[in-house]
A and B are shown apart, each in its own frame.
Chain A
Amino acid sequence: MCGIAGVIHRDGTADIGAELTAMLQSMKHRGPDSTGYAVYGPADDLVVIRFVLAEPNKSTGIGMAERLERNRAEVESRLAKIGAEVATVTNDTGYAFRATIRYGGDLKALADYLEDVPGCEVLSLGNSLEIIKDLGDATTVSDQYHLGSFRGTHGIGHVRMATESEVDLASAHPYWAYPFADVAVVHNGQLTNYHQWRRRLEQHGHRFQSECDSEIIAVYLAEYMSRGLTLETAMKHSLDDLDGVFTYVCVTGNQLGVAKDEMAAKPLVLFESDPLVAVATEEVAIRSLVKREVVTRDPYEREVLVWQV
């Protein structure tokens, strides 16, 4: 059981960090083990990289601080070697970092080169996407990463109750659609043809950060969009190709889309107004964002909906 949420503002930027935190915290009962965000700030010429150098529960111990510092220096060195001009590198924890760079080269090569550094995992890459995830509930993660002041146009979030894999960052959502910039997914459900699709996508050169079935969706959609399909068309294809029960939310640099499987087994409720669209697993999350009675609805089976910024 997990909880997912998404917001998109069609009239400019808003405090989406605080909004998603309120929504996710209201669904803490659906998953207190880890919380993740994929938030979109104003698009920039700079490429934003969110990366970690260790799992939170393995980031302390004898010599760990020195090792993290050494690996961080190695990441910066590799950025320079690959031709990126580093603007900033900051960190909110000892293991999670945010870098902004000027870089016009191949993002896949960049991600692969950085992930060759011991312990390094690129959580997100893009001109506006930032994925932040850590252990604990939404308030804990938001406070840790100062998300209360994050302004942007749209974003998604996920609260996770660990049932089939570890309590760690690799298993936490959202998932970035490596190696495609600015695409991320959160998912509630189980995919039963995960291994089939993973093998297929690996044959196309993709790599996976985790053993989590949800990551397939992000890479699947990005793969199809890279072939020229729109997000909406790729999502409609996914209803036929992905087997299992699922509701997922996908975001790109300027879109937010939701899809429900043909059994409508996983919940999602939708609120739509001219300036704001909000989706969540439960109504209580919508009400934490919109403090009044509003008209909401549950999308039906095989329904795909996409909104633009």
Chain B
Amino acid sequence: MAGVGSRSGVSYDARGLVEPHADMPDNVEVDGGRARFDASDLTIRQINMALRKLIYDDGITDVTILNPASKHSLAVGILKRCRIHFEGSPGWFACGLIDGPEVTINGRVGWSVAENMMSGVVTIERSAGSLTGAAIRGGDLIVKGDVGARTGIDQKGGTIIVLGDVGINTGFMMQRGRQIICGNAGMNLGDSMYDGEIYVAGTVASLGVDCVPGAWTDADTELIERKFRIHGLGDPPEFQKFVCGKVLHNYDQLEPSERKLVIH
């Protein structure tokens, strides 16, 4: 494998930063359409190899991964309808680029969970790091604890629900989709957002550039009640709605050809 040089003159691979080869783990238990394995002693590559083989090659539709121990980049790029359950806490970049899976995580997750998710559901029982749902395009992402900064940055669709608090720059440059924040929001909420809706039940430290309070409609009530009902989140609290003020970015003023380029 070609090495990428560093200033120390040691190649990238020689420093042990990548895992070019891995053996398929032999501790997978299969029971009909379900499977489970313990990830404690497995590398990231081994975990993802096993997961992909089970889902794509063996036709398994329900996989439980025990003890992910905060390892990074687990269950990334799964493009098939299936159920994945993490018994424990994955690390950074979990479930990125997925299209279809229904994922449950009974621990916490690190930065950038469900980044670029296209469709599916990711439910996290505890907290999440920063950049949660970055550039998400579809599906539902539910965090039952608090999340860090920049939740849903560059969000292009889908719904992010946070039962706890969110940090600074939540919804930064959001383009479409919805965020439902049940706790408090940090500074610069919705800064430079293009479109979409942000609902906040708690306090907002400050609104970002061109983020303004929006008019509540029946559709907002219906959406929130439906999402809470589907995901078993109980009765929703009362929310304030925030939208784009259309001063900084205004799609409505674009020519039809430009709208096609930007919106679609």
Contacts and interface: CB of A to CB of B under 8 A. Distances in A.
Nearest to A166: B7
A11 interface: no
A135 interface: yes
A185 B129 CA distance: 24
B148 interface: yes
Given A28-B17, A33-B7, A269-B110, A293 B149 contact: no
Nearest to B109: A283
A23 to B, nearest CB: 12
A267 B168 contact: no
B107 interface: yes
Interface string A266-289: 010100000000000011101100
B148 A293 contact: no
Contacts of B167: 264, 298, 300-301
A295 interface: yes
B91 A283 contact: yes
A287 B71 CA distance: 9
Contact of A264 (B16, B17, B72, B168): B168
Interface string B5-46: 011101000011100000000000000000000000000000
B130 A282 contact: no
A267 B17 contact: no
Contacts of B72: 282, 284
B199 interface: no
B194 interface: no
B169 interface: yes
Nearest to A264: B149
B155 interface: no
Interface residues of B, number: 32
Contacts of B91: 282-284
The main secondary structure of chain B at its interface with chain A is: loop
B127 interface: yes
Contacts of A300: 148-149, 167-168, 186
Interface in A175-192: none
B15 A32 contact: yes
B202 interface: no
Nearest to A265: B149
A306 to B, nearest CB: 20
B130 A33 contact: no
Contacts of B8: 33, 135, 162, 167
Nearest to B187: A301
Nearest to B87: A293
B149 A296 contact: no
A12 B7 CA distance: 40
A298 B7 contact: no
Contacts of A166: 7
11 contacts: A28-B17, A32-B16, A262-B187, A263-B149, A264-B148, A284-B71, A287-B70, A287-B89, A297-B146, A298-B167, A300-B149
Interface of B: 6-8, 10, 15-17, 69-72, 88-89, 91-92, 107-108, 110-111, 126-127, 129-130, 146, 148-150, 167-169, 186-187
Given A262-B187, A267-B111, A296-B108, 5 more contacts: A33-B7, A264-B167, A283-B108, A284-B91, A298-B148
